Amino acid sequence: MQLYNTLSAKERAELIEKAGKDRLTLSFYQYAKIENPQEFRDHLFLTWNALDVLGRIYVAQEGINGQLSLPADRFNDFKTHLDTIDFLKGIRLNIAVEQDNMSFLKLKVKVRNKIVADGLNDDTFDVTNKGIHVDAEQFNNLIEDEKTVLVDMRNHYESEIGHFKNAVTPDVDTFRESLDIIEDDLKSHKEDKNLVMYCTGGIRCEKASAYFKHKGFKNVYQLEGGIIEYTRQIKEHNLENKFLGKNFVFDERRAEKISDDVIAKCHQCGAPADIHTNCANDACHLLFIQCDTCKEEMNNCCSDNCKEIHALPYEEQKALRKGQGNSNDIFKKGRADHLPYKKDLRNIFEVLKKKEI
């Protein structure tokens, strides 16, 4: 019984190309109590592998978080299977704004402690006691209210290339960091302000909305379906788009274009740019923003040192990496010291003071 992916990304890409079928990229999540995550995980893998589903799916006792692709002609079969699972019946599926047949090249279904790492150890916290969900039109109206504080619940490298107008964008590396920062900086406004949050597809701000309600915030809202669903709704209903730039996504596409605005800059030369690159040096793989000119000049690398190493024969590169592992810069995601135009750090409190709250 095959319970794990057995093909390499290269082999899978060749099969997709040979099949010649259009694939759909989509995502969904649901908080629910899963008694046996491992058993549930194995069931999903066996069923979805047979449907040629590829992607990254996390299962935990608190629920499921899925980002995946599948052949478009198997979508109804996939949806039918979801409907056989009580807590997934009729679930909203966020269809990607931009499609790419190569968005995922492996099926990975993993059991995790939590589907969104939060670092919380509070048995009294109920993740299902969430804030008020608002659609695109309600969201647009709400964020124009002077009593509203709009907060981006994503990490710094996501909001750097795209965010909503006037949103507070915490300079954090993890979701967990933002929880304490926001609570501390808004602690005197738990009753007189609307706390409105958004993220990519809704999963992070759903947990955050429950957390801030748990901490005593009275008026807590979240954008239902996140940026992905917002984009679909503004197109369908011809609403004003209040999102600037690109929506960062965690697959091979790396981003979806929501507006024509380019709000970020190349981390190497400072020119307007919003395309992330993984440094081509296998001992680095730093994620950073790189314009086309620098990409050509630096051969997809983040530094002269990485460029020199990447130019070496493969066996020499492999020998240099032996026993070393990846550079710690991989965790900095655009904040490495050698990048001259990396994003300036901003404190959320300074932004909030400018909003005079």
- The answer to whether the beta carbons of residues 118 and 176 sit under 8 Å apart is yes
Rounded distance between C-alpha atoms, residue 9 and residue 11, angstroms: 6
Q: Which of 7, 1, 57, 62 is nearest to 27 (CA)?
A: 57
Please report the pLDDT score of residue 245 as a whole number. 97
Rounded distance between C-alpha atoms, residue 339 and residue 334, angstroms: 7
Which amino acid would we find at residue 309? I
- The answer to whether the beta carbons of residues 210 and 122 sit under 8 Å apart is no
Rounded distance between C-alpha atoms, residue 289 and residue 295, angstroms: 10
Lowest mean pLDDT among 231-240, 276-285, 346-355: 346-355
Please report the pLDDT score of residue 331 as a whole number. 62
pLDDT for 347 beyond 60 = no
What is the average pLDDT across 185-196? Answer: 92
Higher pLDDT: 125 or 345? It is 125
Please report the pLDDT score of residue 4 as a whole number. 82
Please report the pLDDT score of residue 171 as a whole number. 87
pLDDT for 15 beyond 70 = yes
Which of the 8 DSSP states describes residue 1? -
Confidence of residue 297 (pLDDT cuts 50, 70, 90): very high
17 backbone dihedrals φ, ψ, rounded to 5°: -65, -45
Q: Which of 265, 246, 264, 263 is nearest to 255 (CA)?
A: 246
Confidence of residue 356 (pLDDT cuts 50, 70, 90): low
pLDDT for 348 beyond 60 = no
Please report the pLDDT score of residue 326 as a whole number. 59
In angstroms, the first-to-last Cα distance of the chain is: 59
Q: Which of 262, 235, 257, 254 is nearest to 246 (CA)?
A: 257
- The answer to whether the beta carbons of residues 187 and 198 sit under 8 Å apart is no
Please report the pLDDT score of residue 131 as a whole number. 93
Share of the chain above pLDDT 90, in %: 72
Confidence of residue 322 (pLDDT cuts 50, 70, 90): confident
Domains along the sequence of the chain with CATH: 9-111 (3.30.70.100), 276-331 (no CATH)
pLDDT for 122 beyond 80 = no
DSSP-assigned beta bridge partners for residue 43? none
Residue 285's alpha-carbon distances to 127, 139, 195, 299, 310, in angstroms, are 35, 37, 36, 13, 11
What is the average pLDDT across 179-188? Answer: 89
Maximum Cα interatomic distance, the chain, rounded to a whole number of Å: 62
Rounded distance between C-alpha atoms, residue 310 and residue 280, angstroms: 7
Each residue of 66-98: pLDDT tens digit? Answer: 999 999 999 999 999 999 999 999 999 999 988
Q: Which of 36, 34, 41 is nearest to 3 (CA)?
A: 41
Each residue of 237-270: pLDDT tens digit? Answer: 999 999 999 999 988 888 999 999 999 999 999 9
Each residue of 266-295: pLDDT tens digit? Answer: 999 999 999 999 999 998 999 999 999 999
Please report the pLDDT score of residue 325 as a whole number. 62
pLDDT for 42 beyond 80 = yes
Please pick, among 199, 279, 294, 301, the residue that the annotation labels catalytic. 199
Please report the pLDDT score of residue 81 as a whole number. 97
Whole-prediction pTM? 0.83
Taking all residues of the chain, what is their mean pLDDT, rounded to a whole number?
91
- The answer to whether the beta carbons of residues 225 and 94 sit under 8 Å apart is yes
Structure tokens at 130: 């969430």
Structure tokens at 89: 């019946």
Please report the pLDDT score of residue 346 as a whole number. 54
For the chain, the C-alpha Rg in angstroms (whole number) is 21
Residue 178's alpha-carbon distances to 27, 118, 345, in angstroms, are 23, 10, 14
Which amino acid would we find at residue 62? E
Share of the chain above pLDDT 70, in %: 94
Active site residue 199: yes
Structure tokens at 117: 């790492």
Q: Which residues contact 277 (CB under 8 A, 6 or more apart)?
A: 287, 288, 289, 290, 295, 300, 302
Please report the pLDDT score of residue 336 as a whole number. 87
